[in-house]
Structure 1
């Protein structure tokens, strides 16, 4: 946090947004000490406190607290910093007297070299104050800060220091957590295993992020070898798998920004996102963009900031955004539908994609690319855009092999070439649904699924390609010349066994 620089530059109004109040206050206190400023802190429960002398001035109302600063901010006094906790709760009430008083106090602070610092989990300033305060980045703890927490837990539990390899693994597993969350995870690991176990830390991080509701850690159990077909896409990813290494950084190679995969539902887009993390050997975070948008003023912007902060703290990592068009489709009409919230969030996300410095590889998938704003698709946001079409006969035959084997049967007991011809235009997800349907029928009759049950299930199924033939044709037309083909589909090829193709989306 570059708070010290801002204080030395004479900024009168600063904002620190963080849920780690104790750590943020410690950083603020350190900045005041290094700049030789006296620190005062206000909250509605404690009043105005001189942190150096411990003197308390009771005042639960922020307007009353600001009035107390008239004497404190006099020109003849030493430079002071006043920390205001949770002021957002009072600003939400749209009190014109409070807004006016803040502006007057900031003017006095600027003249005499003092500063106000607002601290809270969120902050949406009224228009009158938007240009009066400057946001100060407060990142999640890095491995050095988490290491201090780890040492404290080891000392309190009277455990020996872990070896360097284990320590590095533990700290990497804890990246993305606050100091409090990391401390809890370390303590839980000690209780469960009598040691610090990286697997326990990673498990608790996954639970914590999922509970927060914005991003979740997904275990990447697949790699590019688990995907058949999509050979062009796999070659592109293989060529960038080493771009996050130290040698690539020394070479001067910038980290890849991301990948946009568009195509027909059920054709393997989401699986590719998971396989990317496995191929790059990086953690995988899944973001539900719909959850970013909140009903409280300023919440959506704060949620996006939290997502970016978490991803950059865990970096290098893969950030997977599924069906991204659902999150940004309303940004064009945002001004008349939600007061411009969607447009602001969309703009912030685009700016981050364009300018991000941390190695966060974004994999976004979309079914209906027509809903995405044009500026989202231009070069510079993503490194490449691929189009995934329906599987051809070769891929469908191999999909049958995988589906049958996955459900505990032998593919050699079925003629998957015939089955592939019978389910033309089916996606991999639809093929699996057909086999499960056939299994239900066979189970009811007390036998194993056979060709009759499978062919009957195929007959009962209307594939998406028929239900949405017009939209699929339009998508193919749009993709031609705009997106790279994810796979090469030779028209004259005949299906053969042995080619491994994943079936699920």
Structure 2
């Protein structure tokens, strides 16, 4: 980041906007930059006013207008860090905006550069073309390593072995230096050592704070999924895609996977299992929460998501029910001023151009809500369609569900149950068994085939409730998507009844 700042300053950019939560780290970086190019560095805040770091001279200019007036009196080759100045610009005060334009014009001629520091991007339209926005990346492993060394030294810990150190730093990637320091310290207090598991738990809490991303603890693996043999084989071929051996072989980093299909057929389960196959953390994105009411906040939220995902990489980014998050992009120009279209376009561009090993796993139920540009091959490595389970898949699902609830599958006639549940999804089969468990508990006995048959008598499957929609989805998938299972659907079974 330092070299990039030097280039901008030497090119004469009068104003930069750094998006970061790390004031101390930004100050340290700017101090190094100012020393490298022999600039006078000044810090401003609404509390302390304008302070020249070399001479320690303090300008009593706590008000934003006063700060801009004081900047005019500074010598040439000055760099001024304005902390949280964006909060005043957000009010769109016309006097402040006009004064800002005057100061920027003067700064351009006198080698002065104003650097606004804020945790989010918030600029009035009048200044959007005047100020260059830069994302201050989260700390990398080497920077986090310095924090770890500091904690280890203060806690008088023995030298951490290289293998353990790598695990700790990997668990801390995606945190700010302050968050990492807190996580390391808490781990030491709790276990008298720095435990990567405890650090990862703290990271999960930190990532979850903004409500956009959360780290999902995954217990599911491919054995938790009944059927979908083609999809499983496809994933297993890529299980080492993020390894050093893959890089040396020349394999491109996989982009992602889009799974379309009927609700309840195991799409979300597959997304969770994917992270287990790759052996990487799973981040879940709530796409709907990206959109916010403040101008520029939606775009800022997306940048925050991308920055966090790339900092934690290699990882899987799971977007559940993709169509609900981005369905508004089609008509957003007339409904939200084009915000949805801009966010959607930025997301597509990132997916196309990303270099970081972030594997995107998205699921969707209603393909008609997705814009065509989302579905084209270059965005995803593969597009899979998950249909209603066939008989062999239903047998596997019954075995999994019976074992999941602590019963022995040998006590049930799996083949008969499979035939009796033709047209049911995997989640519906689980719901039937759970209902049978309740019935058995009420009668103080174990569930049997007869108990399940009684439950099925009153059960109305989704394939009957939404026969037309499922039929349309099947028709769309023909020739457009790859089927997740290799088995041919039975003609007598799997028939949709209206």
Q: What's 1:253 paired with? A: 251
Residue 209 of structure 1, aligned match among 191, 207, 210: 207
Q: What's 1:501 paired with? A: none
Q: Is the 8 A contact 1:47 1:65 kept in 2?
A: yes
Please, which moves more after superposition, 466-475 or 46-55?
46-55
Residue 264 of structure 2, aligned match among 263, 266, 282: 266
Matches within 5 A, 1:345-494: 345-491=343-489
Q: What's 2:38 paired with? A: 36
- Hey, what's the Cα distance between the residues in 1 that align with 2:18 and 2:377? 33
Q: Report deviation, 1:364.
A: 0.6
Q: Report deviation, 1:311.
A: 0.6
- Hey, what's the Cα distance between the residues in 2 that align with 1:376 and 1:123? 27
Q: What's 1:114 paired with? A: 112
Q: Is the 8 A contact 1:260 1:382 kept in 2?
A: yes
Size of the aligned set, in residue pairs, is: 491
- Is residue 24 of structure 2 the alignment partner of residue 50 of structure 1? no
Q: What's 2:61 paired with? A: 59
Q: What's 2:174 paired with? A: 176
Q: Is the 8 A contact 1:173 1:205 kept in 2?
A: yes
Q: Is the 8 A contact 1:393 1:494 kept in 2?
A: no
- Hey, what's the Cα distance between the residues in 1 that align with 2:109 and 2:247? 46
SS at 1:26 equivalent: helix
SS at 1:128 equivalent: helix
CA-based RMSD: 1.6
- Hey, what's the Cα distance between the residues in 2 that align with 1:231 and 1:412? 23
- Hey, what's the Cα distance between the residues in 1 that align with 2:280 and 2:362? 16
Structure 1 runs, 4 residues or longer, greater than 3 Å off: 491-495
Q: Is the 8 A contact 2:264 2:425 kept in 1?
A: yes
Residue 12 of structure 1, aligned match among 11, 14, 28: 14
Residue 80 of structure 1, aligned match among 74, 78, 101: 78
- Is residue 238 of structure 2 the alignment partner of residue 236 of structure 1? no
Q: What's 1:200 paired with? A: 198
Q: What's 1:498 paired with? A: none
Q: Report deviation, 1:175.
A: 0.4
Matches within 5 A, 1:485-504: 485-491=483-489
SS at 1:40 equivalent: strand
Structure 1 residues 460 and 494: CA distance shift in structure 2, 3 A: closer
- Hey, what's the Cα distance between the residues in 1 that align with 2:162 and 2:295? 45
Q: Is the 8 A contact 1:66 1:101 kept in 2?
A: yes
- Hey, what's the Cα distance between the residues in 2 that align with 1:123 and 1:394? 53
Residue 125 of structure 1, aligned match among 123, 126, 131: 123
Q: Is the 8 A contact 1:266 1:427 kept in 2?
A: yes
Q: Report deviation, 1:462.
A: 0.8
Q: What's 2:24 paired with? A: 22
Q: Is the 8 A contact 1:42 1:65 kept in 2?
A: yes
CA-to-partner distance for each residue in 1:222-280, whole Å, 9 max, x for gaps? 33344342122122222222221112212322101111111001111111111111111
SS at 1:206 equivalent: helix
Q: What's 2:496 paired with? A: none
SS at 1:330 equivalent: helix
Q: What's 1:140 paired with? A: 138
- Hey, what's the Cα distance between the residues in 2 that align with 1:113 and 1:435? 73
Q: Is the 8 A contact 1:7 1:35 kept in 2?
A: no
Structure 1 residues 494 and 240: CA distance shift in structure 2, 3 A: farther
Q: Report deviation, 1:71.
A: 2.3
- Hey, what's the Cα distance between the residues in 2 that align with 1:225 and 1:242? 18
Q: Report deviation, 1:494.
A: 11
Q: Report deviation, 1:367.
A: 0.8
Q: Is the 8 A contact 2:224 2:400 kept in 1?
A: no
SS at 1:347 equivalent: helix
Q: Is the 8 A contact 1:394 1:493 kept in 2?
A: no
CA-to-partner distance for each residue in 1:423-482, whole Å, 9 max, x for gaps? 111001000100111111121112111222211111211111111111111111111111
Please, which moves more after superposition, 221-230 or 410-419?
221-230
Q: What's 1:190 paired with? A: 188
Residue 298 of structure 2, aligned match among 297, 300, 317: 300
Q: Is the 8 A contact 2:80 2:114 kept in 1?
A: yes
CA-to-partner distance for each residue in 1:357-414, whole Å, 9 max, x for gaps? 1111100111111111111111221111110000001111221112112112111111
Q: Is the 8 A contact 1:394 1:494 kept in 2?
A: no
Structure 2: unaligned runs, 5 residues or longer: 494-498
Q: Is the 8 A contact 2:225 2:397 kept in 1?
A: no
SS at 2:248 equivalent: helix
Q: Report deviation, 1:35.
A: 1.2
TM-score using structure 2 length: 0.96
